Structure 1
Amino acid sequence: MDSTTPLPDPRPVYARATEQAAAVIAAVRPEQLAGPTPCREFDVRALLDHVVVVSLRLAAVGADGVPRAVDTATDGVPDDGWSAAYEEVRTRVIRAWESDERMAAPTRVPWGEMPGRAALSGFVMELVAHTWDLNEALGRPLVLDPELGEFALAAAHRALPEPERDPRRPFDAARPAPEGADANDRLAAWLGRRPLDRV
């Protein structure tokens, strides 16, 4: 898909991505919260916090197109409460982005201003990537949806077309994908991730 091809509607894809993320989050056991993830700056607990906080920001953006600072809203989440915390916020995000007007309206996100359709596609990429991170950290309890991986990979190629990355970007330079890698593993490699058993 090139820059002249209309973007597909990301709303149903985002809803599916939240269902997949919710399933992986539901697999987290309290004793795994301090474990490492492929996203080096986060252990499992910090990654869960990040996913919930980014979702809270996305709900705010969906409401009026303007981001709001949300440092953390998860300090009070008990060790066994992450699934419930994410379930509540993902419902808010889907509701905030349900209008067709939001898809076309100018939307400010951390990486610039763009139509809502492009902004939400970027958030699909981030959520699918972090779901891969979490699934890796837990020992791959789920087989991740390859169609979500393909959508997120296309969004990643649009957002990050060059394999080398400026240090200010939140993703490392792209890595070669393992032979036979599926779409989710190719997404992870393009975003500079490597599986924990290869670190």
Structure 2
Amino acid sequence: MTASPRQQSADPRPYHARAADQAATLIAAVGPGRFDDPTPCDEWDVRALLGHIVDATRRFARLGEGGAGTAMDAPAVPTGIPDDSAAWAEAYASARAGLTAAWADDALLDAAYTLPWGEVPGRAALSGLVLDTVTHTWDLAEALGGEHVRTLDPELAEYALAVAHRAVPAERRGGPTPFAPVREAPEGADAYGRLAAWLGREAG
């Protein structure tokens, strides 16, 4: 199954809402002693991964708040959040609320924004955030193990994979593109496995 043309051109905000719901559930599931655990992201433990998820949401909120023509600011992963799932869940909920408010105006979807990889319309920028959120939620699910991976929404992975095929083509790896070369997905891999492989991660 692949995302349809309608999905690819659709308003990404409902997809982000679903992806954020899924991320919030996983963030709340991080137990004591798990923050130093490794993740599929090279050099990122669970703590750093959560920092990126919260920070990316905040940066995209600031992008929307700035209106048409705004350039994305440099990443600044948040610090000072204690190793407590409730504290991280609160930080993510606040960032998510800010994003929702910032992008409430439909006109922003077709306004131009400057991202590190070029100038894009708002809908493409937000589609990139959906890709980021879905991918890193899978990373977190893999780090936590158990039933978490099997409960992820497959339609979100299909949507994110369609975005990844357009935004992160196989030949654009290394340098400013923070993804390893495409891997071959295991036979019978689900949508998350294929998404992970496309982004250079090892999918079991």
- With structure 1 as the length reference, what TM-score do the two structures score? 0.90
Task: State the distance in 2 between where 1:83 and 1:157 align.
Answer: 30
Task: State the distance in 1 between where 2:40 and 2:96 align.
Answer: 23
User: How many pairs are equivalent?
Assistant: 194
CA contact 1:13–1:124 (8 Å) conserved in 2:
yes
Task: State the distance in 2 between where 1:164 and 1:113 align.
Answer: 17
1:158-195 Cα shifts (integer Å, max 9, x gaps): 01222562343111111111121111111011001114
Task: State the distance in 2 between where 1:9 and 1:82 align.
Answer: 28
Are residues 1:62 and 2:72 paired?
Answer: no
- Cα RMSD (Å) of the superposition? 2.0
Task: State the distance in 2 between where 1:96 and 1:168 align.
Answer: 27
- 5+ unaligned residues in a row in structure 2: which ranges? none
CA contact 1:128–1:148 (8 Å) conserved in 2:
yes
Offset at residue 69 of structure 1 (A): 3.3
Report SS of the residue matched to 1:155: helix
Q: Could you tell me which residue of structure 1 aligns to residue 158 of structure 2?
A: 150
Q: Could you tell me which residue of structure 2 aligns to residue 124 of structure 1?
A: 130
1:15-67 Cα shifts (integer Å, max 9, x gaps): 11100010111110120000000001200001101111111111101112332
Q: How many percent identity over aligned positions?
A: 52
1:57-102 Cα shifts (integer Å, max 9, x gaps): 11101112332235233x2211111111111111111221121111
One-letter code of the match for 2:176? R
One-letter code of the match for 1:102? L
CA contact 1:177–1:189 (8 Å) conserved in 2:
yes
- 5+ unaligned residues in a row in structure 1: which ranges? none
Q: Could you tell me which residue of structure 2 aligns to residue 108 of structure 1?
A: 114
CA contact 2:57–2:99 (8 Å) conserved in 1:
yes
Residues 152 and 6 of structure 1: is their aligned pair in 2 closer, same or farther, counting only changes over 3 Å? closer
Q: Could you tell me which residue of structure 2 aligns to residue 93 of structure 1?
A: 99
Task: State the distance in 2 between where 1:193 and 1:121 align.
Answer: 20
Q: Could you tell me which residue of structure 2 aligns to residue 43 of structure 1?
A: 45
CA contact 2:185–2:194 (8 Å) conserved in 1:
yes
Are residues 1:78 and 2:86 paired?
Answer: no
CA contact 2:8–2:159 (8 Å) conserved in 1:
no
The runs of at least 4 consecutive aligned structure 1 residues that moved more than 6 Å come to none
Q: Structure 1 stretch 13-22 or stretch 134-143: which is displaced more?
A: 134-143
One-letter code of the match for 1:151? Y
Q: Could you tell me which residue of structure 1 aligns to residue 14 of structure 2?
A: 12
Report SS of the residue matched to 2:33: helix
Residues 121 and 36 of structure 1: is their aligned pair in 2 closer, same or farther, counting only changes over 3 Å? same
